Amino acid sequence: MSAFKEIFKAAKRIVILSGAGISAESGIPTFRGSGGFWRTYRSQDLASYGAFRRDPSLVWEFYHYRRELVFTKKPNAAHQAVASLEAQCNRQVTVITQNVDGLHQSAGSKNVIELHGSLFKTRCLSCGEIKENKDSPICPALEGRGAPEADAPSRDCIPEALLPRCKKCSGLLRPHIVWFGENLETSVLAQAGEALDECDLCLVIGTSSVVYPAAMFAPQVAERGVPVAEFNMEPTPATHQFMFHFEGPCGTTVPEALKLD
């Protein structure tokens, strides 16, 4: 930790790569792995354009549940430490997150690149408008829907006309999330690439570094000789490529590492 802090104190352009692990301590489910089920569905089975076209009511119930869940959660000490770091005027701090929960912004981070979109943005299938939306519920028909239990009582599908609609053209809205089978937005990737190319320190917080293209980011930075520090509950496939690895809950290790003595 003392060796890391010497490098940290001198760093002027810091990039933070965050994943599900930083939000797990806030009570946000990862929706990956053996426990990542909603009702009887794996999230992968619902997070696709094909699933949305087949049953937009079911997919919107899933995302409505996730939105309402996040409304009840708060940023933890790791989110807050990252936001405090950005507030220091002598540093450039960029957060590149795989999360869609908005907790970095809730903690006060402003320079956040959301690789996979946001639960609190929608995209119109007709006119393409992307808009922030924090309505609760997002539409009246979804109120009280989305119970996650496998034995949740079945209800009729919500008619498409009653699902979230665009206020501009009345087209059907979808969550502004990068689904399985879809590419990350070119402009978002370009922003992330620019920040990574310019950084003199990279922090990897709560991500297993196995989902591409984000899995390439930190190893490529390390290859340039830039220090990379990983904060995770356990080693990851990329740990051996990094200069530092701090094992334990992000809410404990990150604030300690980012504390200016």
Annotated binding-site residue numbers: 19-38, 63, 66, 98-101, 124, 127, 166, 169, 206-208, 232-234, 250
Annotated binding-site residue numbers for Zn(2+): 124, 127, 166, 169
Please classify residue 187 by burial: count the beta carbons closer than 10 Å to its beta carbon, then call 0-12 exposed, 13-18 middle and 19+ buried: exposed
Please classify residue 153 by burial: count the beta carbons closer than 10 Å to its beta carbon, then call 0-12 exposed, 13-18 middle and 19+ buried: exposed
**CB 103, CB 73: distance < 8 Å:** yes
Annotated binding-site residue numbers for substrate: 63, 66
- In the sheet that 112-114 helps form, which strands lie side by side, from edge to edge? 112-114, 92-97, 13-18, 201-205, 228-232, 244-247
219: its two tokens: 């190893």
Please classify residue 239 by burial: count the beta carbons closer than 10 Å to its beta carbon, then call 0-12 exposed, 13-18 middle and 19+ buried: middle
Lookup result for tokens 């950005």: 86
Q: Is residue 116 flagged as an active site residue?
A: yes
Handedness of CA 116, 120, 124, 127 (dihedral sign): negative
Across 93-122, b (16+ Cβ under 10 Å) vs e yields bbbbbbbbbbbbbbbebeebbbbbbbbbbb
Compute φ and ψ for 50, nearest 5 degrees: -60, -45
Annotated binding-site residue numbers for NAD(+): 19-38, 98-101, 206-208, 232-234, 250
Q: Please tell me which residue in 64, 79, 104, 116 is annotated as part of the active site.
A: 116
Which neighbouring-strand residues pair with 37? Answer: 42
Name the residues annotated as catalytic: 116
